[in-house]
Amino acid sequence: MRFGWIITPKYLIIITFALSLNEVYSQNERTIEIDSCYKWARHHYPLLKQNEWLSQAEQLNHTNVGKQYLPQINIGAQATYQSDVTKLPINIPNMVIPELSKDQYKIYAELTQTLTGAFTIRQQQIVAQSQYAIEQQKNEVELYKVYDQIQKLYFGILLNQNQEYQTLIIKKDLDLTQQQIESSVREGLLAASELLVLKAESVKLEQRLTELKYNRIVYFKMLSIVTGQTLDEQTVLTNPNDLRLQSENNRPELSLFDYQKANFLNQSGLINRRKIPLIQGFAQFGYGRPGMNMLSNDFGTYFIGGLRLNWNLGQFYTSGKEHELVQINRNMMDTQKETFEQNIDAAAQQFYVDIDKYERLLQQDDQLIQIRTEIKNAYQSKLTLGTVLSNDYIEQSNALDQALQSKLLHQTQKLIAQHQLAYLKGQIQP
């Protein structure tokens, strides 16, 4: 089921605003606010759990990368057969110089400790942290979209709930008029058909209440799923207060752009670190044939230690282009952020205009309601005297009802525009 703000004549949902619901709902029923729905939805949303997993993954990765600081141990073994061996190119009378075996063996353990790799290791940790920050901020962007869904459901229920209250008021007034007409019919002042017209209108109002009830059941089921709360059609939704909106834009997408831009800068730092020569201290312990004495044909232990230099000069060939690519990506992030902010500012103008429009319409609604109320009261008096027909009275009563509904519609439309503007500007912070 798609839910939006388009109100069609077939499924018209009339908005009421700032009216007490105590005459309709009992005091022991649950009352909730839209801010509470924001909080419940955020904590209930499954994607929030992914932030916890990302935090744990970041800690594990940071620890693993940091362990590159520790001495590294490598164990190896080798068995070879070679076509020739080292020989002394001399002959000594009465002396046989033993020939080395062509099959040679060794097993060893080598301990290495990086001396200059600490800079690269630290930069790797920084890059990994920025990447995890990006993933978490992506989740925040998705979580923020839930607030828009909450607004649609909450105001949809509020429209339905307040329309029911307005309909009950109209029906109560109609029932009172019907009682007066029954008395006139019994006294023979009015025809019975006039009473039937009022009863038919009462049935229409009952149908409207039935439709409202089942629509509200659907909306509450959807809101319950999103918030993780047990809500039903008896739950009372309070009318939110007018919002005092600020001019700054705090959308989570803007932070995501900043995180991505910072990550490219960190990657640039890693490119520089990889050009540093790698110097390691090492110590190797082994056993084999031959050992350190290459002229010995016996198995023996040996030890060797020192410093080792490894410098990959190929990094200099590609680092310049890699830096250019990083800068291009940073420029793209700036452009995307600027485009996003421009789109937000453009969309916000519509809401600013709508808020001003509804404030003006509300002033006109008050004037119209006053006039319609006087007309309706006059026709009600004439109906009891039998000088007008029931259809005439119903027509004027419906006109007043429509005027009241229009005011309540404009009041809530103004409120919706304020909350949508707050969502657009990233100012919903449950």
HEC letters along 323-367: HHHHHHHHHHHHHHHHHHHHHHHHHHHHHHHHHHHHHHHHHHHHH
Residue 2: the pLDDT is: 35
Q: Alpha carbon of 117 to those of 15, 152, 270, 284, 384: distances in Å?
A: 67, 54, 12, 20, 98
Structural contact between residues 161 and 304, judged by C-beta atoms closer than 8 angstroms: no
Task: Answer yes or no: is 15 within a domain.
Answer: no
Task: Answer yes or no: is 88 within a domain.
Answer: no
φ, ψ for residue 300 (rounded to 5)? -170, 165
Residue 4: the pLDDT is: 36
Q: Which residue has the tokens 């309709």?
A: 24
Distance, CA of 132 to CA of 152 (rounded, Å): 32
Q: What are the structure tokens assigned to 19, written together?
A: 């009216």
Tell me, what DSSP letter sits at residue 425?
Answer: T
Structural contact between residues 260 and 276, judged by C-beta atoms closer than 8 angstroms: no
Host H or E run for residue 106 = strand 103-114
Number of domains in the chain: 1
User: What pLDDT digit, counting tens, does each position of 173-191 carry?
Assistant: 788 878 877 877 777 767 7
- The crossing angle, in degrees rounded to 10, of helices 192-227 and 118-186 is 170
Residues paired with residue 75 on neighbouring β-strands, in sequence order? 109
Structural contact between residues 24 and 168, judged by C-beta atoms closer than 8 angstroms: yes
What count of residues does the chain have? 430
Task: Answer yes or no: is 3 within a domain.
Answer: no
Those residues whose C-beta lies under 8 Å from the C-beta of residue 282, and which sit 6 or more positions away, are 110, 111, 112, 113, 305, 306, 307, 308
CATH number reported for the structural domain that contains residue 158 in this entry: 1.20.1600.10
pLDDT digit string (tens) for the chain, length 430 residues: 333 333 333 333 333 333 343 444 444 468 899 999 999 998 898 888 888 888 888 888 888 888 888 888 999 999 998 888 777 677 777 776 677 788 889 999 999 988 887 788 888 888 888 999 999 999 999 999 999 999 999 998 888 877 887 788 788 878 887 887 787 777 776 777 877 888 888 899 899 899 989 999 999 999 999 999 999 888 888 888 877 777 788 899 999 999 999 999 888 888 888 888 888 899 999 999 888 777 778 888 889 998 988 888 877 777 888 888 988 989 999 999 999 999 999 999 999 999 999 999 999 999 999 999 999 889 888 877 778 777 788 788 888 888 887 887 788 888 889 999 999 999 888 7
Task: Answer yes or no: is 283 within a domain.
Answer: yes
Distance, CA of 213 to CA of 164 (rounded, Å): 8
Distance, CA of 418 to CA of 243 (rounded, Å): 6
String of DSSP letters for 27-47: TTS-EE-HHHHHHHHHHH-TH
Tell me, what DSSP letter sits at residue 77?
Answer: E
From the number of C-beta atoms within 10 Å of its C-beta (0-12, 13-18, 19+), residue 340 rates as middle
String of DSSP letters for 5-33: S---STT------S---TTTS-TTS-EE-
Task: Answer yes or no: is 315 within a domain.
Answer: yes
Residue 83: the pLDDT is: 84
Cis peptide before 252 (omega within 30 of 0): no
Q: How many CB atoms lie within 10 A of CB 115?
A: 14
Task: Answer yes or no: is 274 within a domain.
Answer: yes
Task: Answer yes or no: is 90 within a domain.
Answer: no
Distance, CA of 103 to CA of 80 (rounded, Å): 6
Structural contact between residues 299 and 288, judged by C-beta atoms closer than 8 angstroms: yes
Distance, CA of 75 to CA of 234 (rounded, Å): 72
Which structural domain range is residue 285 located in?
A: 31-80+109-424
Distance, CA of 395 to CA of 378 (rounded, Å): 13
Task: Answer yes or no: is 275 within a domain.
Answer: yes
Residue 315: the pLDDT is: 76
**Half-sphere CA count of 175, side-chain side, radius 13 A:** 9
Q: Which residue has the tokens 């307005």?
A: 166
> Model pTM?
0.72
Structural contact between residues 422 and 245, judged by C-beta atoms closer than 8 angstroms: yes
Those residues whose C-beta lies under 8 Å from the C-beta of residue 167, and which sit 6 or more positions away, are 205, 208, 209, 212
User: What pLDDT digit, counting tens, does each position of 372-415 carry?
Assistant: 999 988 988 887 777 877 778 878 888 888 888 788 778 888 88
Residue 96: the pLDDT is: 66
Residue 411: the pLDDT is: 84
